[in-house]
Structure formats: structure tokens, C-alpha cells
């Protein structure tokens, strides 16, 4: 199976005037096409940092990152932006929707940056809104809809450009169990349709949806289990 | 994508309504008032550069310098123009003279009405060959060719004839001869130092006043004379050849020949750089062009800083949004474009706001500035678009650059972690920008105070004689006989409220002439010098009071066979005497004979207080000795100027009884003297208006910042309150940052302002001292306004219940 993203011996540290904090230490991880990988671990173990590096939002202090075989740890911010816009979708715990854009406009945004024509954008956004039952909130602003709906919008925005990889950071963290389940089912459906998913979570219920679960502790991978049911 | 940017930009503006309003209003004011000064500066710079050949056109000036005194005259002898034409055909294409008999006004009878016209000049037929004033009626080629032709301005045409076609109409000049209107010129759009309203063909003089080209053709210098040089002729070439003319024994008289120099002055430089004796009109001053440009720029800088700070504040709340956009795939360029679009929306709105300010406020401001030369609807669209559009977009883009660069440059991950809102660098930058804003505002306040105080010093300056309650009635040169003068004087003295009446040849305190005199010292005749002086009637000292240091005033009815003069202290020093008493009884000589020094006056300002006092001579007009009557102005002392309107009516009645078919002219001496402070008055007004605008814009910015900073500090205040801080302490805690910024600005603004104003004050012989009140005024006004501006937010934040802020996550 082809690798979507490969992290080779990566480390990440943050320095201040007084001390240096090692967040990730010699992590090596290979995510293959079609996988649903879940990263778990206690707060501060480096889960989100790992996700950000895998999503090309951040760069490692040491080590290599290969995205579909291309070395990107030293790539320009412009190149990384190009790769993100055409290959990666994000779902965040805090939804990270833009308050000043409507539901439709938020979902449309990745297509805008991909310079998709307005007609095509409308077609694709309408289609995804239909699928995720968001059409009735098309013109609402994020602050006027519930947390569950906001996360659904975030998922819609993540998948509208049909990315190869979806990165989800605590996607159910701010939701009740019912809404959390809905989101996880959406991600599972996407995975079944071929999208690779890398998810960070605290929730064991959410991790049950993944095909592989990786445990991180103090910036290092300590265990890696295949979820046999998947 | 652009649509997306515009939508989010507009929504953002609406969402942060207060910031947006403050931002737009501040920017609009900045652009509008920058435009105002820019237009004034542009207008001042455009004087006389619209003529096709203005680069080849020069005014001839005459400098008479003997023993370090004399005159620098803007006008030259009447014969000089044609002589230069004849003598230098290889250099000169044409010359044009302007001549007005050196009188205050000319009497015109037109369409059944009598007018006194101060701006009438006799001029040569080549006027339109040199000067490109648009002729709306008539033909340039022959408008001034024939005797008794007159070209009038559109304003005069309207005044005399209303809607009737003025061409071919006849007007009566000075009850002597008729002039036919041969052209109507529109000079409203051609800024010029040429102060004409009526131009009479010079050939008229030759047939109506046959003596005009006889007599002292080379001593008297009443003609403003312009020369158009041929292509490729350099002015220095002609100037070098003037020696031939100056040494020609048939031209300048012998006593002048060694002291006269002729120079060529580029016409384009006259308005801003020329300050000669006998200028045709009040000129501008290049120094004020620099000052106004600097003020315009300072106001624009305040507005730009304001715009930048408020934009930075708004952008800083959008760090998360930028992070999301970057995570989704936007690159730095796209983020910059987005913020540029938003800044452009603000700029465009500000430009419209600026137009509204210009339309609504400018008529009043021009009125305050006493400037009716620039009207908004007269500015061409191109200038207006370039000015408003250019300054708006430039400042918009420039002031958005820092926040855009800051926001677009960070890693997306920083944006998503919203706790990292504003970096230390940006806070420092914001603090400095606020300090710079207030330094400028305080500088403007400081200079307003100093300029106003200096103006008051000029206005209240003791000229050395009384100007209060003094009225001047112009007579016109040789228009009236001594007998008529005496009759009018007698009639004026019979009017209640008139205490004394006398006569003089020029207006004391405004303009004087120069006279050549030799002086006999210890039996040695000192070389002839050209002293500034005034010819007076013998009762002059009944009207004016001077400080007499030695000797006596010229006596009324003093019959003697010699002339009598008074001199000033500077003359005593110039002649090399130690005490005034030593000069009494000594004699000056000129062609009229001996003039005995009767008294010495303490130095007084015979012209504007801008000018240094030089040796001065007051000469009695003794018609018995002189055989001529050189009095052009009657001068009256009233008991109280408050009754002036009533007295003026009675004087006019007396005037028309003695000189029928004429109108009496009159003015208050104080008004004429104060007119020479026009430039300082204008600066004081400009700096007042612009310091108010500067302070308003700076405080608008502070208001926006205060709102932002207090919101930012809410959580900190909530924690402090939870730990025991009281409401009042919370208010002090918030406000101290603002007062620190303004206080810091004081310490930068004060020394800078002091140095700049000290430099400006060096232009005046009499200067104020910059006192403590200049500092207190600029600092006090700024601190008070800061207090008022921030108090709303400070009080609001100070009394806020901390519970809500303790719950919030950031």
C-alpha cells in the first residue's frame, strides 16, 4: 500500500529564554492510503503537535516529513500551502469556522483557494451540504448554530475538496455523545470511500472507529495496535 | 475570490462598527485636510507659470545702493522698457510696462455709476504677447493697440454692465477722457501677482498727458516692467550688457549712475520669493509653502498612524481566522491580498468621507483663512481624483502594510492557538505610533500658541506713533490743487469727531519712498544717499504723536527760506553722531536746496514691523519752496473710531460739496498696517485649524485603542479584583498606560517644538520669548483630551463585574 504521509525520526522542541521543552522525540510513523489512524495519549504528550506536523501546519525541529513521497519538512510555506489546499482537510475540536462567513461560504472556502469556478463551487458545496443535511442552515452564521452543526460544517469544509487525507483533532471533544457519534460515523463513511484519516483523540469511544491506534507518551510512540474489528 | 474578500471585508466593517467609523472618520479628516493644504500650496506654486513663455519672462528690478542704504525697487523708470527694446534687439523680444500714476485709486464713470478703482494700470500693446490671460471678448492682437482702449476683467464687466455685452462700451476716466472697452479678460483661473482689473492702452497716456514722457524719466521709477527674452537668451547675458545703459549719460542722472543696478527677476519666482519695495501686490512667501506642506504631511501622518493602529487592533482579533485560512490552504500572498482589499474598502469609504468633509467644511475654512481663491467646484476632476484617490490609497496601503505583514507572516499553527494574539513587537510598535501621533499633535498646538502670540506682538507692537483713530483719505496724485486741499481740510475739520487733519505723500506705517540727499558734516559733503522718507504737511504732528528726542517738531506756518526735516535715531547713528542734539541745525541738501534738521525722533516703524528700521527722513512739503504739491493722502485723527460710520458719511458729504462728481475713498490706518501681517495671520489660523484636526484625529485613534486595550485587560482586571483591587484602583491601573504614552510624547514634542519655533521666530526683528505657557498649553490640552477620550472605557472597565471575565477562556 502507498504511503500518504511518512514521518521519519522527527523531533520537535520549543525554546524560551530560560528552557527548552521537547514535545516530540524521534517519532517515526507511516500512514498508508485508506487507513484510519487514531493517536491517543494524555494531555501534553505531543498528539496535536504530531498532527500539525503531519498536516504541514508546522515543521519539525529535526527529522523528515514525506508527503506522498515528497520531502516537505524544508519546503517553503507556499509549497506547503499548495499541498494542504489540494490534499488535506482539517477538522478541529473547536471547529475553527470563520464567524464572518455563512455556513455555505465556510464550506466553500477551500474551493476558493483552489481557484475552482463559482458554478462548480456551488455544485460541490450544495452536494456536500445535502449529504450532511446542512442545506437548511446554508445562510446561517456559525455563531447562530449549535456545536454539533458547527462540527458538521467543519467536516463538510474538510471534505468538500475531496482531500486524500483528513486530519481530525479531537473532533468530538466539544460535543455530546450523540453528536460525537454522528461525527465519527461521518468520518468512517469517508474512510470507507477511500479517504485516509488521521485523528487525535482522548475518547476511547472515538478510537474504536480507527483501524490503527497509536499511543503517545512524553513525545514518543509507546504502543501501536491494529484494531482487528476494522 | 475577490468577491469573498469583499464580502468578508464589509461584514467585518459592519461587525466592528465603532472601530470602522472611527477609522473612516479619522482617515477622511486626514485626507480632506491634507487636500486642503495641498490645494493651497499648489495654488501658491502656480502663480504666473501658466503663460506659454513664462520661462522666458522676467521683471526688471532696480537696486539703488549707496552707503549701504537705498531701495530695492520692483518698479523702474518709465523710459526703461522702450529703451531696452531699442538697445538690445538681439536679446529682447518684447517689453511691457504697468503704470498707475502711483495713486491709490482711479476714478471711473461707467453706465451712470461712479467707481474708485485701485487696480487700473496703463500697459503696453504687447501685453497679450507676454501674458496668456484668456480673452473672452475682443482680440488679443489689437485689444490694447489704440489709444483710449481698455481691457477689463469679467468681474469688472459684470460690475459695470451686468449681462450686457461690454465690448465697444465707453467709460470715463478721471472725468478727463473716455476709454472704449476692447476686450474682456478672465483672470479668475490664472493665479498671478499682476493685480489688474482694468488695463488701459499705454498710448492713451501719450495723447492725454503729453508731459508723461518728459521730465525726470530716469529718476522716478513708477513702472513695473516685464521683458520677454528671445529663445536661448540667458538672463545673465542681458544683465551683463546693462552696463552700457547704466553708463549712458543721457539716461540715469549723474547722482544716480554710480549706485544703480538692474536685475532680471524670473516672473515665476515673484509671488513666492520677491519682497522688494513697491511690489504690485502682497506676495506670498516660500517659507510658508514649506510650513504648510509640513503641516499637511504631519496631519496625514497622524491619520495614517491612526488608520494603522486601528487596523492593527481589528486585525489582531482575526489571528484565528488567518490561521484557519492558512490551514485550509491560503498562502501568504492570498492573505495579503485579502487584507489589502479590506484596507482598500476602508480607504475608498474614507475618500468619500473626505469629499463630504471638503464639500461641507471647506467653504467655512476658506472663509476663516480669508482665502476665496480656491473653490472645490473649480478644482479640476483630475487633480481632485489624483489628490483624494492617491492620498487615500497610498495611506491605506502603507498603513495596512505592517499589520498585513505581521498577520500574513506567522505560521498557521500560531493563528489557531488564539492565546498568542499580539506579539510584544506589535505592542511596542503600537505604543511608539501613539507617541508619534501625540508628538505631532502637541507640536501643532505648541506652534499655534507661539504663532498666535507672535502675531499679537506684531499687531500690538508699538510702532512709535499712534495708529488708533487714524483715517486716511487718498487724494490721487496732482489731482487736486493746494487750494482744494485746504478747502477740504477746512470742511473735514468742521465735522464733529474730527480732531486734526493733515497730509502726506505715502501711507506712514505701510509704504514710503526714497529720496536722494547729501549731508554736510563738518564742512565736508557726504556722498548722496537714498534715504527712506515721507513728505508731510506742516500740521502733520497735530495728527501723529512721536517721541521727540531732541529739537522740535516742524512748526505750523513757519515761514523760512529753507526746507525743514526731522530725522530718526538710526539716521543720527548713520551720520556718525553720538547724540541726537548734535545733529540739530545741521543741513541736508537736494535739488530743492537746503533742509535744516529741526528735530530727532525716536526710531519708529515707518513700514511693516517685518523690516529693520533704517535711517529715515521726514520732509515738510513747503509749496512755497517746492512749487509742487506732493500730498497724495489726507490723514485725519478722530476722537473715537467707534463713530466712524457716522463720521464717514459726513466726510463724504463734505467731499462731494467741494469736489463734485467724485467719490471719496477712505480706510483706517490700523487695517492697512494689519494687512501686512496677512501671512502670519494665515499661519496662525492654519496651525490653529490643523492642530484641532490633528488632536481630534489622534484622539479618535486613542478612543479606538482604549476600547481595545480595556477589553484585552478585562481578564487581568477581573483576577486583580478577585484578589482585592478596588474599582478606582482598577481605573487608575488601566489609564496609566495612556497617560504614560501622552506624557512621553510631551518630552519629545517640547524640545522639537521649541527648536522649530525658535527658527521661525528668527524671521522677525521683534520676537516673543517662548514662555512656560506654550508647554502648559500643548501638554495640558493633550492630557485633558486624553482624559476625556479614555475615561468612558476606563470607567466602564473599572466598574465591570469580574465574574464574566473570570469565566472566559482568553
- pLDDT for B184: 96
pLDDT at B420: 45
Question: B323 and chain A: CB distance < 8 Å anywhere?
Answer: yes
Angle CA B559–B561–B564, to nearest 5: 75
B808: left (phi over 0), alpha (psi -120 to 50) or beta: beta
CA nearest to B708, candidates B429, B309, B321: B309
Whole-number Å distance between alpha carbons of B317 and B707: 13
The pLDDT of residue B810 is above 50:
no
Distance CA B742, CA B761 (A): 27
Please enumerate in sequence order all residues whose Cβ is within 8 A of that of B705, keeping only pairs 6 or more positions apart, or say none: B309, B310, B313, B430, B434
| Cβ pair B1:A115 closer than 8 A | yes
Q: Which of B8, B328, B330 sits opposite A100 (nearest CB)?
A: B8
CB-nearest partner of A96 from B8, B331, B416: B416
A101 chain-B contacts, CB cut-off 8 A = 4, 7-8, 11
Tell whether the torsion through CA atoms of B442, B448, B449 and B451 is positive or negative. Answer: positive
Mean pLDDT calculated for residue range B306-313? 78
Nearest in space to B223 (alpha carbons), one of B215, B212, B234: B212
Indicate if ipTM > 0.85.
Answer: no
The predicted-structure confidence for B210-264, as pLDDT tens digits, reads as follows: 777 776 788 888 999 999 999 999 999 999 999 888 888 888 888 788 889 999 9
Judged by average pLDDT, the poorest of B233-247, B586-600, B795-809 is B795-809
Task: Please list the alpha-helical segments (H only) found in chain A.
Answer: 47-54, 77-87, 103-113, 118-131, 147-159, 177-192, 204-207
Q: How far is B17 from chain A (nearest CA, A)?
A: 14
Per-residue pLDDT, B644: 87
Interface test with B, best of A57, A114, A159 (most B CBs within 10 A): A57
A98 to B321: CB separation less than 8 angstroms, yes or no? yes
The pLDDT of residue B41 is above 50 = yes
Q: Collect all residues of chain A within an 8 Å Cβ-Cβ radius of residue B411.
A: 57-58, 77
Kindly state the DSSP code that residue B737 receives in the 8-state scheme: H
Give residue B137's pLDDT: 93
Rounded Cα–Cα distance for residues A207 and B26 (Å): 55
Backbone angles phi, psi at B489, to 5 degrees: -55, -45
In this structure, what is the dihedral angle of CA atoms B482, B483, B485, B486, given to the nearest 10 degrees?
Answer: 120
pLDDT above 70 covers a percentage of chain B that reads 91
> Residue B679: its pLDDT value, please?
78
C-beta neighbour count of B789 within 10 angstroms:
22
Question: pTM for the full model?
Answer: 0.77
**Does position B564 have pLDDT exceeding 90, yes or no?**
no
Contacting residues of A for B4, CB less than 8 Å apart: 101, 105, 108-109, 112
Q: Please state which of the ranges B70-79, B84-93, B119-128, B352-361 shows the lowest mean pLDDT.
A: B352-361
Cβ atoms within 10 Å of A136's Cβ, excluding its own: 10
Residue B783, all three cell numbers: 492630557
- Taking alpha carbons only, the member of B24, B691, B742 closest to residue B344 is B24
d(CA B613, CA B546): 15
Least confident of A18-22, B2-6, B399-403: B399-403
The pLDDT score that the predictor gives to residue B419 is 46
Of the spans A93-107, B650-664, B745-759, which averages the highest pLDDT? B745-759
Q: How far apart are the CA of B350 and the nearest CA of chain A, in angstroms? A: 22
CB B711, CB B791: distance < 8 Å: no
What is the Cα gyration radius of chain A? 17
3-state secondary structure of B726: coil
pLDDT at B410 (0 to 100): 67
Query: Pick the residue with more confidence: B362 or A217?
Result: A217
Tell me, what's the pLDDT at B543? 94
Which of B12, B329, B416 to substitute to test the interface with A, most A CBs within 10 Å?
B329
Count how many residues are written for chain B: 810
Which residues, in sequence order, are bridge partners of residue B95?
B227
Q: How far is A229 from chain B (nearest CA, A)?
A: 33
Q: Cβ A115–B413 below 8 Å, yes or no?
A: no
* CA distances for B805 relative to B185, B359, B692, B719, B793, angstroms: 73, 46, 38, 9, 16
Question: Which residue in chain A is spatially nearest to B1 when comparing CA positions?
Answer: A112
How much is the average pLDDT of B106-129? 93
pLDDT tens-digit profile of B163-198? 999 999 999 998 889 999 999 999 888 889 999 999
Least confident of A126-140, B53-67, B269-283, B673-687: B673-687
Q: Which residues of A touch B (CB under 8 A)?
A: 52, 55, 57-58, 77-78, 81-82, 84-86, 90, 92, 96-101, 105, 108-110, 112-115, 157
Closest CA–CA distance from residue A68 to any residue of chain B (Å):
17
To test the contact with chain A by mutation, choose from B10, B16, B327 the residue with the greatest count of A C-beta atoms within 10 A, namely B327
pLDDT tens digits for range B706-735: 877 777 777 777 777 766 677 777 888 888
Q: Which residues of A touch B413 (CB under 8 A)?
A: 52, 57-58
Q: Tell me which residue has cell 485560512.
A: B325
- pLDDT, residue B285, reads 86
- Return d(Cα B323, Cα A98) in angstroms, integer: 10
**A113/B330 touch (CB, cutoff 8 Å), yes or no:** yes
| Mean pLDDT within B657-683 | 85
The number of beta carbons lying within 10 Å of the beta carbon of residue A10 is: 24
* pLDDT number for residue B134: 93
How far does the CA of residue A114 sit from the closest CA of chain B (Å)? Answer: 8
| CB count in 10 Å sphere of residue A120 | 11
- Here the cell at position A228 is 482487528
Model confidence band, residue B421 (pLDDT cutoffs 50, 70, 90):
very low
For residue B409, CA distances in Å to B6, B304, B311, B421, B630 come to 21, 22, 16, 14, 81
Site of grid cell 505581521: B406
Does the distance separating the beta carbons of A112 and B327 come in below 8 Å?
Answer: no
- Cell of residue B405, nine digits: 505583514
Instruction: Give the three cell numbers for residue B280.
Output: 504690485
Q: Half-sphere exposure of B368 toward its Cβ, with a 13 Å CA cutoff?
A: 14
Model pLDDT, residue B413: 66
Contacts of A104 (CB under 8 A, 6+ apart): A125, A129, A138, A139
Q: Which residue of B has its CA nearest to A55?
A: B327
B chain contacts of residue A105, beta-carbon cutoff 8 Å: 4, 7
pLDDT in tens, B152-164: 999 999 999 999 9
Domains and CATH numbers, chain A: 3-13+21-226 (3.40.50.300)
d(CA B71, CA B511): 12
Statement: residue B40 has pLDDT above 50: yes
Lowest mean pLDDT segment, chosen from A8-17, B401-410, B435-444, B645-654:
B401-410
At residue A169, the 3 state secondary structure works out as strand
| pLDDT, greater one: B719 or B371 | B719
Give the separation between CA B719 and CA B725, rounded to whole angstroms: 9
Quick check: A49 and A58 in contact, CB under 8 A? yes
Q: In terms of pLDDT, which residue wins out, B421 or B56?
A: B56
Contact B8 A112 (CB under 8 A): no
pLDDT tens profile B472-523: 999 865 456 778 888 899 999 999 999 999 999 899 998 888 888 888 777 7
- Write the CB contacts of B210 (distance below 8 Å, at least 6 apart in sequence): none
Amino acid at each position: 500500500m502507498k504511503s500518504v504521509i511518512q514521518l521519519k525520526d522527527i523531533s520537535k522542541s520549543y525554546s524560551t529564554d530560560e528552557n527548552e521543552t521537547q514535545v516530540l522525540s524521534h517519532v517515526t510513523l507511516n500512514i498508508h492510503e485508506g487507513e484510519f489512524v487514531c493517536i491517543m495519549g494524555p494531555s501534553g504528550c505531543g498528539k496535536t503537535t504530531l498532527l500539525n506536523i503531519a498536516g504541514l501546519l508546522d515543521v519539525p525541529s529535526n527529522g523528515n516529513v514525506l508527503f506522498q513521497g515528497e520531502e516537505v519538512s524544508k519546503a517553503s510555506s507556499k509549497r506547503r500551502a499548495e499541498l494542504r489546499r489540494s490534499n488535506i482537510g482539517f477538522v478541529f475540536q473547536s471547529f475553527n469556522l470563520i464567524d464572518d462567513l455563512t455556513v455555505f461560504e465556510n464550506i466553500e472556502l477551500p474551493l476558493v483557494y483552489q481557484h475552482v469556478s463559482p458554478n462548480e463551487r456551488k455544485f460541490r458545496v450544495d452536494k456536500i451540504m445535502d449529504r450532511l443535511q446542512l442545506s437548511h442552515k446554508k445562510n446561517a452564521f456559525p455563531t447562530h448554530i449549535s456545536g454539533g452543526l458547527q462540527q458538521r460544517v467543519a467536516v463538510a469544509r474538510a471534505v468538500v475538496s475531496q482531500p486524500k487525507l483528513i486530519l481530525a483533532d479531537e473532533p468530538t471533544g466539544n460535543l455530546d455523545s450523540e453528536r460525537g457519534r454522528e461525527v465519527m460515523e461521518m468520518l468512517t463513511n469517508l474512510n470507507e470511500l477511500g479517504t485516509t484519516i488521521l485523528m487525535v483523540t482522548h475518547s476511547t469511544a472515538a478510537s474504536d472507529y480507527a483501524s490503527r491506534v497509536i499511543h503517545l507518551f512524553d513525545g514518543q510512540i509507546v504502543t501501536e495496535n491494529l484494531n482487528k474489528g476494522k | 475570490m475577490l468577491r469573498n474578500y469583499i464580502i468578508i471585508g464589509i461584514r467585518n466593517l459592519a461587525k466592528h462598527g465603532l472601530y470602522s467609523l472611527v477609522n473612516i472618520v479619522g482617515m477622511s479628516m486626514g485626507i480632506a485636510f491634507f487636500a486642503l493644504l495641498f490645494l493651497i500650496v499648489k495654488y501658491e506654486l502656480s502663480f504666473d507659470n501658466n503663460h506659454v513663455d513664462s520661462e522666458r519672462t522676467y521683471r526688471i528690478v532696480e537696486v539703488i545702493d549707496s552707503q549701504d542704504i537705498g531701495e530695492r525697487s520692483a518698479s523702474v523708470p518709465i523710459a526703461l522698457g522702450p529703451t531696452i527694446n531699442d538697445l538690445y534687439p538681439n536679446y529682447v523680444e518684447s517689453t511691457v510696462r504697468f503704470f498707475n500714476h502711483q495713486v491709490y485709486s482711479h476714478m471711473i464713470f461707467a453706465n451712470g455709476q461712479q467707481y474708485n478703482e485701485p487696480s487700473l494700470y496703463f500697459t503696453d500693446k504687447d501685453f497679450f504677447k507676454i501674458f496668456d490671460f484668456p480673452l473672452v471678448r475682443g482680440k488679443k492682437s489689437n485689444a490694447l493697440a489704440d489709444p483710449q482702449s481698455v481691457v477689463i476683467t469679467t468681474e469688472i464687466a459684470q460690475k459695470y454692465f451686468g449681462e450686457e455685452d461690454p465690448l465697444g462700451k465707453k467709460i470715463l476716466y478721471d472725468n478727463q477722457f473716455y476709454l472704449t472697452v476692447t476686450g474682456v479678460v478672465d483672470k479668475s483661473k490664472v493665479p498671478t501677482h499682476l493685480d489688474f482689473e482694468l488695463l488701459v492702452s499705454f498710448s492713451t497716456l501719450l495723447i492725454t498727458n503729453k508731459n508723461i514722457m518728459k521730465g525726470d524719466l530716469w529718476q522716478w521709477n513708477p513702472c513695473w516692467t516685464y521683458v520677454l527674452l528671445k529663445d536661448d537668451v540667458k538672463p545673465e547675458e542681458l544683465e551683463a550688457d546693462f552696463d552700457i545703459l547704466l553708463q549712458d549719460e543721457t539716461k540715469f542722472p549723474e547722482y544716480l549712475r554710480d549706485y544703480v543696478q538692474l536685475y532680471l527677476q524670473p516672473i515665476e519666482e515673484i509671488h513666492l520669493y520677491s519682497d522688494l519695495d513697491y511690489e504690485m501686490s502682497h506676495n506670498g512667501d516660500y517659507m510658508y509653502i514649506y510650513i504648510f506642506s509640513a503641516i499637511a504631511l504631519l496631519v496625514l501622518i497622524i491619520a495614517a498612524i491612526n488608520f494603522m493602529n486601528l487596523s492593527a487592533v481589528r486585525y489582531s482579533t482575526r489571528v484565528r481566522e488567518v490561521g484557519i485560512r492558512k490551514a485550509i490552504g491560503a498562502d501568504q500572498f492570498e492573505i495579503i491580498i485579502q487584507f489589502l482589499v479590506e484596507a482598500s474598502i476602508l480607504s475608498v469609504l474614507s475618500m468619500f468621507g473626505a469629499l463630504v468633509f471638503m464639500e461641507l467644511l471647506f467653504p467655512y475654512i476658506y472663509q476663516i483663512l480669508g482665502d476665496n481663491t480656491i473653490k472645490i467646484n473649480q478644482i479640476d476632476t483630475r487633480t481632485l481624483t489624483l489628490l483624494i484617490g492617491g492620498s487615500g490609497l497610498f495611506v491605506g496601503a502603507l498603513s495596512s502594510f505592517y499589520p498585513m505583514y505581521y498577520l500574513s507572516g506567522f505560521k498557521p499553527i500560531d493563528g489557531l492557538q488564539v492565546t498568542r494574539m499580539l506579539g510584544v513587537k506589535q505592542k511596542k510598535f503600537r505604543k511608539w505610533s501613539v507617541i508619534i501621533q501625540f508628538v505631532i499633535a502637541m507640536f501643532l498646538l505648541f506652534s499655534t500658541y507661539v504663532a498666535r502670540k507672535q502675531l499679537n506682538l506684531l499687531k500690538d507692537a508699538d510702532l512709535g506713533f499712534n495708529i488708533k483713530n487714524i483715517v486716511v483719505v487718498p487724494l490721487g496724485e496732482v489731482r487736486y490743487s493746494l487750494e482744494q486741499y485746504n478747502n477740504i481740510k477746512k470742511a473735514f475739520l468742521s465735522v464733529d469727531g474730527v480732531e486734526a487733519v493733515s497730509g502726506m505723500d505715502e501711507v506712514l506705517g505701510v509704504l514710503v519712498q526714497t529720496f536722494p540727499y547729501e549731508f554736510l558734516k563738518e564742512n565736508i559733503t557726504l556722498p548722496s544717499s537714498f534715504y527712506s522718507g515721507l513728505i508731510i504737511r506742516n500740521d502733520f504732528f497735530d495728527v501723529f504723536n512721536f517721541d521727540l528726542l531732541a529739537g522740535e517738531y516742524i512748526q505750523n506756518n513757519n515761514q523760512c527760506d529753507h526746507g525743514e526735516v526731522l530725522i530718526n535715531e538710526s539716521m543720527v547713528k548713520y551720520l556718525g553722531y553720538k547724540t541726537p542734539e548734535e545733529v540739530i541745525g545741521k543741513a541736508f541738501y537736494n535739488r530743492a536746496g537746503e533742509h535744516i534738521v529741526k528735530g530727532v525722533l525716536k526710531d519708529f516703524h515707518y513700514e511693516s514691523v517685518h523690516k529693520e528700521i533704517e535711517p529715515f527722513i521726514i520732509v515738510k512739503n513747503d509749496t512755497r519752496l517746492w512749487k509742487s504739491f506732493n500730498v497724495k493722502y489726507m490723514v485725519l485723527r478722530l476722537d473715537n473710531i467707534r463713530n466712524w460710520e457716522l463720521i464717514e458719511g459726513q466726510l463724504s458729504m463734505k467731499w462731494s460739496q467741494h469736489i463734485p462728481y467724485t467719490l471719496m475713498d477712505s480706510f483706517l490706518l490700523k487695517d492697512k498696517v494689519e494687512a501686512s501681517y496677512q501671512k502670519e495671520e494665515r499661519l496662525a489660523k492654519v496651525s490653529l485649524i490643523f492642530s484641532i484636526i490633528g488632536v481630534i484625529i489622534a484622539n479618535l485613534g486613542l478612543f479606538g485603542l482604549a476600547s481595545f486595550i480595556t477589553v484585552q485587560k478585562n481578564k487581568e482586571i477581573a483576577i486583580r479584583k478577585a484578589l482585592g483591587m478596588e474599582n478606582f484602583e482598577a481605573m487608575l491601573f488601566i489609564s496609566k498606560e495612556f497617560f504614560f504614552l501622552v506624557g512621553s510624547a510631551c518630552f519629545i514634542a517640547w524640545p522639537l517644538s521649541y527648536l522649530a519655533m525658535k527658527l521661525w521666530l528668527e524671521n522677525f526683528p521683534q520676537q516673543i520669548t517662548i514662555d512656560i505657557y506654550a508647554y502648559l498649553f500643548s501638554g495640558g490640552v493633550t492630557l485633558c483630551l486624553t482624559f476625556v477620550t479614555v475615561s468612558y472605557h476606563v470607567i466602564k472597565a473599572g466598574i465591570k463585574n469580574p465574574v464574566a471575565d473570570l469565566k472566559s477562556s482568553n
